[in-house]
Structure 1
Amino acid sequence: MAAAAAAEEEKTVKYGIIGVGMMGREHLINLYHLRDHRVSVVCAADPHPPSLDSALHLAHSFNWPLHVFSGHKELLDSGLCDVVIVSSPNMTHYQILIDIIAHPKPHHVLVEKPLCTTVPHCKQVVDAAKKRPDIMVQVGLEYRYMPPVAKLIEIVKAGEVGPIRMVAIREHRFPFLVKVNNWNRFNANSGGTLVEKCCHFFDLMRLFAGANPVRVMASGAMDVNHKDEVYDGKVPDIIDNAYVIVEFDNGSRGMLDLCMFAEGSKNEQEISVVGDIGKGEAFVPEGIVKFGTRVAGRDGVQTIQTVDKRIKYDGLHHGSSFLEHLNFLYAIRNKGTKAPEVDLIDGLVSVAIGVAAQVSIEQGRFVTMEEVLK
């Protein structure tokens, strides 16, 4: 057994990327910076020729030969890779994941968030994956790995602030970027802003609270961004600001404050967790964590500058994608003893909270998780 494990450790893990737009190429760069861990990207699939050309150029600059395909089924049938990264547009995730899971050759999967755009599709992927114990699937909720967020998670898990009562997350940032064919301008494609973007934050709320969501109330609108844009005769319908309240089954509460026309912010994300005995805060991109107790008061607040020396490439997400890959690679090489840290249930619940919030905005009421998950 030890000899077999050692042989597996020495084997180069070969990756294929499905969807090589901005995020797909970001994954390629992260994996290049992991090359000392015996990984390589050997193939890519994308129906958009300019994206494929950009990926080819990037791979060649790394001296990585890259086989390219216009469709994901051709990539799977090629047998070239062991692991597949799904970083295609949100609305394509469901069918691609079902095809990967059903394929005779097992491929481990890292799928970008959101897992799928609807709860039924997420549940079908979860059910399909249960029948393939030879496949591991990790969901790309990489905000967990941002150094200040990871430090705050560590503080909470150590019990330094006591049982969590309140989680408040503020994301004040720039509007959605332009994507291929402007797919991210419409709810039908993205799942809606609170699914597409905010599944990250609902995942963190659940992680900090250590509990599952019960019901959701939200208020939001499309007030500033994209209102003067028209694509094929259609005006975008994605909201650009919202408040969302999430109640958990242990009595704790989470609150999201989202604004996507706030380029004048010092930090893009500010996270606050308050427990019975203390409070912790994380600030991104400052990379700062603040932590204090009720007893010590304001004068006792500590400020910690967080650095993770394992990060070799900061990229678009402050090194979290690099750490995500490092974590997933470890799980792949230790299959049977190590499961992915961010699994399909995490992906499902983060989408379900976002869906509940979207429904709440549309109908002006609390929405229970039971009705969304059923």
Structure 2
Amino acid sequence: MAAILGTVKYGIIGVGMMGREHLINLHHLRSEAVAVVSIADPHVPSQQLALELARSFNWPLEVFSGHQELLDSGLCDVVVVSSPNMTHYQILMDIIHHPKPHHVLVEKPLCTTVADCKKVVDAARKRQDILVQVGLEYRYMPPVAKLIQLVQSGTIGQVKMVAIREHRFPFLVKVHNWNRFNANTGGTLVEKCCHFFDLMRLFAGSNPVRVMASGDMDVNHKDEIYDGKVPDIIDNAYVIVEFENGSRGMLDLCMFAEGSKNEQEISVVGDIGKGEAFVPESVVRCGSRVAGRDGVQTIKAEDDRIKYDGLHHGSSYLEHLNFLSAIRAKGVQALAVDLQDGLISVAIGVAAQVSIEKGRFVTIEEVVNEHI
């Protein structure tokens, strides 16, 4: 893998809310010799907002309406794909097949279907000269990272149960309201919850076997109509995931729960203890069965490396820092979140969506082999 000498030059494909968030994060990494040099987006208002941001950073940008023009320009070493979910597949394939190698950070979900994820994984295997990292950045949130460290150190013993609660606000308004429809997002349990399925797998230290879910659209978006169509994205669900090693995960999702102190609460229970993480409170609690309630410790989770908190409590900043380190290591350092991680997080979400539709357990094998 070729070394990148001097400044690492980034292009951002898709400069809506998340694309501009990446632009700000990269600005805060200027001391690491990075620069955003180009953007691509067909939506002119998004282009203008990104240009205004870049001017405030004194970063001149080349602006393209399409990603192919950005790739063909030869300006970039790295591209960040933060376009709408349903565009990821074609953009990734175009990047992977481009003669000039571009390292890629692609926002979650990797693609909206397992079939498309598999095609991207297969294509990328043939390009040993590029790195592709998936933007499952919740791993980097300081309390979550601290909990991962506690679990992997053996502090709570063999993990048996992982419970993740996300109680939050409804989906935000996006360009052309693309995120209101399953066909564009992959479904709520793919679009939003691939983060949590990725964390479950990480905590369990095992791959998923089967999924059971119950969910519906009960409160949000029911009075909205776009081009004559009513949104079909669910706003609440319970999801149970069973893993190969016998551990279980459970997701409790509610997107009309603004009256919550914490947006995410994560509990991991092993055979000798329990760990919990709370976001945005940024607190971790850890206790053992032997010490009981009185022995529970509370730890404030912080990471001094974070220079910008942004929309995800500093995790996007740390994600970029990690990816840049992997790029500079010229393939010697393994990616924190690779394409296989991206594929499995989508597969669990798809299985959950199908489970709601069919009212039964759905195996990961069914989803991956497209037998549903």
Alignment TM class, shorter chain as reference: over 0.9
Amino acid in the other structure paired with 1:249? E
Q: How far has the Cα of 1:338 moved from its partner?
A: 0.6
2:142 to 138, 141, 147: 147
Match of 1:67 in 2: 62
Cα deviation 1:206-235 (Å, max 9, x = unaligned): 000000000000000000000000000000
SS at match of 1:245: strand
1:43 to 35, 38, 44: 38
Match of 1:359 in 2: 354
Match of 1:224 in 2: 219
Q: What do you get for the CA RMSD once the two structures are aligned?
A: 0.8
Amino acid in the other structure paired with 1:24? G
Aligned residues: 368
Give the 4+ runs in structure 1 shifted more than 4 A: none
Q: How far has the Cα of 1:269 moved from its partner?
A: 0.0
Match of 1:324 in 2: 319
Q: Are positions 1:237 and 2:248 aligned together?
A: no
SS at match of 1:220: strand
Match of 2:107 in 1: 112
CA distance in 2, matches of 1:248, 1:93: 28
Match of 1:270 in 2: 265
Q: How far has the Cα of 1:339 moved from its partner?
A: 2.0
Q: How far has the Cα of 1:336 moved from its partner?
A: 2.5
Q: Are positions 1:58 and 2:67 aligned together?
A: no
1:100 to 70, 95, 102: 95
CA distance in 2, matches of 1:202, 1:362: 19
Task: For structure 2, list consecutive stretches of 5 or more residues without a partner in the other structure.
Answer: none
SS at match of 1:280: strand
Q: How far has the Cα of 1:335 moved from its partner?
A: 1.7
SS at match of 2:277: strand
Match of 2:279 in 1: 284
Match of 1:303 in 2: 298
How does the TM-score come out when normalised to structure 2?
A: 0.98
Q: How far has the Cα of 1:340 moved from its partner?
A: 1.2
Q: Are positions 1:171 and 2:166 aligned together?
A: yes
1:78 to 73, 86, 92: 73
Q: Are positions 1:348 and 2:343 aligned together?
A: yes
SS at match of 2:265: strand
Q: Are positions 1:16 and 2:16 aligned together?
A: no
Cα deviation 1:176-222 (Å, max 9, x = unaligned): 00000000000000000000000000000000000000000000000
How do residues 28-39 of structure 1 correspond to structure 2 at under 5 angstroms? Answer: 28-39=23-34
CA distance in 1, matches of 2:59, 2:335: 27
2:131 to 121, 131, 136: 136
How does the TM-score come out when normalised to structure 1?
A: 0.98
Cα deviation 1:114-170 (Å, max 9, x = unaligned): 000000000000000000000100000000000000000000010000010000000
1:252 to 247, 255, 277: 247
CA distance in 1, matches of 2:88, 2:331: 26
Q: How far has the Cα of 1:81 moved from its partner?
A: 0.4
Amino acid in the other structure paired with 1:370? E
Amino acid in the other structure paired with 1:330? S
Percent identical pairs in the alignment equals 83
CA distance in 2, matches of 1:318, 1:57: 24
Task: For structure 1, list consecutive stretches of 5 or more residues without a partner in the other structure.
Answer: none
CA distance in 2, matches of 1:279, 1:360: 29
